Every structure is written in C-alpha cells, then in structure tokens.
Amino acid sequence: MVINFYNIEANTGELMVMKILKSLLIILVVFFCSRQNNQNEIKKTKSSSVQKEGKFVEEFNAPKNWRGHIEFNDSIIYIHNPDEGLYEADSQYVIKLENDLVIEDKKNNLTQAHDVIADSKGNIYIFCQRDKFNNSIIKKYKPDGNFISDLNKQNNIKDLRENSFLGIDADDNLIVCEYIYRNFRFTLFDKNGNLITRKSVPFTNQILLDFHFHNNNYYLLTFDNKIMDIKFDKLFNIFKLSKDFKDNSTIYQRILKASLKLPIFSNSLTPFFKPFTNIKERWDINSNGYLFVADSEKYQIAVYNPNGVLAGKIDRSYGSFVKVTAEDKAIIYDSFFAPPYGSNISDNFKNKIIQEYKIPELKPAIQKIICDDKDWLWILTYETNKKDRCGIDIFDNNGVYLQRIWLESFPEYIRDNLAYSIVEDSVGNRVCKRFKILKNKL
C-alpha cells in the first residue's frame, strides 16, 4: 500500500485554510456589525448635538404640511426644500410687504445712495457715494423720514471714501468701514451722530467688497489683489475681526477660476471670469455668527459655524432658471471693454473675446441673500413677474422655505419688521424706501 503524503498534506492544508477563512469571516461580520452600531450611535449623537448646540437649527421640528426632508452626514445637516413654499397654496397671505415710507430728499440730495441701515429707535442712516459736490456723505433721518443731520458736516469729516459700508452695534453706535490702500478704516459715531473714534487696520493685498457687523465682530468680504499664479485666479476671503481689533481670523475662502485668458497687453495675460459668480451679494451673517454663502449656480446655501466650519446646507428643488438674453450678453461684453482697460483693447481682440468667451445660457438660481434680525433668510432670484417685480423667497430660521413674494426691490436691511431698500425712481434718481412686513398666522 502506497500512502501519498502529498495528498494528505494538501487536504490537511485545505482544511486549515478553510477554518482560518471561516474564523476571519466571523471576525469581519462581528467587526462590521459593531462598527455599524457605533456609527448609528455617533450619527444620533452628532445629530442631537447639531440640534442642541448648532444655533443654526435649534431643534428641527418639521412643520405639519412641509414636504421637504432633512438628513445628517456626520455633523452637517442638510435641509431639502420642495419647489413650492410651505404656504404657497394658502388662499390668505402669510407674509407681505406694504409701502411705509419714501425718502426722496431732493433738498439734501441722495445722489448715488449706496447703503442704508437703521438703529433700534428707527432712525435711518443713508450712505451716498457722491453728493452734488462729489463728496461721499452719511445722512441721518428720523423714523418719519425728516432729515436730522449730515454726519460729515457735523464732525468736519472731509475724507470719507466711496467704497464704504455701514453697520450698527448694540448701543446704536453707527460703524462705517472704508477701504483705503492697504488698510481698512473703521469710524464710530455715537447715537447722536458725534464722532467717537477712527482707526485704520492694515490688510495687505486685500480690497474691501462688503462689510457686516454682528455680536461685536466685524465681518469683511475681500478680494486678494495680489497675483496668485499665472492663471490669474481670484481669491475671495471673509475675515472675522473682533471689535477691539485684537482677534482676526479667516472664516471663509473661495477661489474663482478664470474662464478665459487672452494676451491683450504685451507680455501678460488678461483674465475673463464667468459672469454671475461674484459672491459680493450672496453672503450674510445671522445673529449667532453663522455665515450663509449662496452657490453661484445651484439653488443651495452653505452654512458655516462662527469658526468657519461647514455646519449645514439649505437647498430648494428649483427649475425656474432665467435665460440670459442677447441684451444681457451685450451688457457683459460692454463691461469687458469699459475704461480704463477696455479702451486699450483692439477691435481684433474684441472680436476674439466675443468668439471665444462662452457666456452661460442660464442665469444662476440666486442673485442676492440677506438675513433679517429674526434669522430668516431672504433670497432674491432672477425671476420677475408681469409687473416687473422681483421674485423673493423667504426661509425661516430653521431653513424651511415658507413663501415666494414679489416686490419692486430687494431689501438692503431688515429690522423690527421693517425692510429698507435703495431704489431708482422714474427719472433715475435714487430714493430710500421702507416697507412694513406683515405676517399672518406666524
């Protein structure tokens, strides 16, 4: 009898391998089950943490008839809204605006009115980039629209810059933020319009685009004007600066890629950027220091906590994108050829730009956003109705889409159920309008 030791060893080896594989399979099953349970526990914990501590969403209790849904991914909450607002089909109004006040002030001249804000008493401050003497000025009005004073003359200020923005602190002090070469200057007036202080803070290579003030912090949207690389991409920053100027941090950055680069000037490339992508009017801060930034294409708003960490996203099912018209395209091309740089572009290069630069066929979903003092989010779309009124979507402080309203202009500032706008009248003069916000069943 011949015994084949090779076969015995092979069979024994196969049995051992099978046992090992079986043991590994059991270990893997136990591991993944345990891991899944842990993930579920973590998900529950993090969801609870977001609702409890997030301030962006206190405790999400979906309204009874809301057809949207929410989901959690780690510590981020996603709020998905349907195309129709919660109260869209309601026969009675829920939110509407009524004309309450118009400040024309031809005597004191609101030429180039640029920004408006109001204090807790209802006094109105309007910043004008130029008056009839080409000076930048700040005008103060009573709640009834009667003129109080010109803060420049009251304090003998003669160097207020064109690129300035307004804010109000908890004590009704007016804050003016100005861009000066390599510096941002902060000017503080008391509630009576008297100058308190002026301070310049160095911001090298930063150009001021917008400014907000909340909870003793300055929020500054800037464009980095240094050349990043040969692509000439643009870098946008949002800085958070404490009121005492001691703490400064970057809470948001975004790079805008050049969509076309042409050698218009000798030994250099001139970049052209996709229209409708500037974030200047697509960001705001709520009362808890949460940053809202709208997507330049989708109907989506990213929400960042006060430290600049992504906390959530709000979106809406949306299909009403507005087409870019031939007139829109002509305006975009004209902006390329405007002085001072455009005047140096030859006709050949102008034709090349028109041929090679691809303007999108559709405008983005979102044009502007603003947070009111109740942390409701107001979103301006590019839609208009037959009366040439603009479509504004209103979301509550939980990110729920409530209602679409139509208004002649989008508010620059909202406080105490009053909305303030800068609009042009029938002959092109700028006026300040105040609207009363009426809420029914809310």
Summarize the confidence of residues 72-93 as an average pLDDT: 86
Nearest by Cα to 210 from 202, 221, 224: 221
| CA angle (337 as vertex; 325, 358 as ends), nearest 5 | 45
DSSP-assigned states of every residue in 218-287:
EEEEEEE-S--STT--EEEEEEEEETTS--EEEEEEEEE--SEEE--STT--EEE--TT---TTSEEE-T
**How many residues are there in the chain?**
442
Structure confidence at residue 341 as a pLDDT band (50, 70, 90): low
**At the top level of CATH, which class does the domain 80-86+103-323+420-431 belong to?**
mainly beta
- Is 353 within 8 Å of 396 (Cβ atoms)? no
- Residue 282's pLDDT band (cuts 50, 70, 90): very high
User: What pLDDT shows up at residue 340?
Assistant: 64
Q: With pLDDT > 90 as the criterion, what percentage of the chain qualifies? A: 51
| Cβ neighbours of residue 54 closer than 8 Å, sequence gap 6 or more | 77, 305, 311, 312
393-405: average pLDDT: 94
- Asked whether the beta carbons of 139 and 110 are under 8 A apart, the reply is yes
Mean pLDDT, range 104-115, rounded to an integer: 76
- Nearest residue to 304 (alpha-carbon basis) of 234, 253, 261, 380: 253
C-alpha–C-alpha distance, residues 358 and 259, integer Å: 8
Mean pLDDT of 394-418: 94
The tens digit of pLDDT for each residue in 220-249 reads 999 887 755 545 678 899 999 999 999 999
Which token pair is 369? 């956003």
The per-residue pLDDT for range 347-395, each reduced to its tens digit, is 887 888 788 788 889 999 999 999 999 999 999 999 999 888 999 999 9
* Rounded Cα–Cα distance for residues 304 and 290 (Å): 6
DSSP H or E run through 347: helix 347-356
Angle 299-302-304 (CA atoms, 0-180°, nearest 5)?
165
Instruction: Find the range with the poorest average confidence among 100-114, 248-262, 331-345.
Output: 331-345
Query: Tell me, what's the pLDDT at 83?
Result: 94
Least-confidence region, from 132-141, 149-158, 278-287:
132-141
Local confidence band at 22 (pLDDT 50, 70, 90 cut-offs): low
Separation CA 100–CA 364 (nearest Å):
31
Q: What mean pLDDT is predicted for residues 194-203?
A: 94
**Above 80 in pLDDT, residue 92?**
no
Cα of 47 vs its chain's centroid, Å: 25
Cα 431 to Cα 67: distance, rounded to the nearest angstrom: 40
Contact 375, 338 (CB under 8 A): no
DSSP 55: S
CA atoms within 13 A on the CB side of 281: 15
Q: Which residues partner with 164 through β-bridges? A: 178
Q: Which of 33-37, 168-172, 297-301, 375-379 has the lowest mean pLDDT?
A: 33-37
pLDDT reading at 97 higher than 50: yes
The residue ranges of every structural domain in the chain are: 5-53, 80-86+103-323+420-431, 325-359
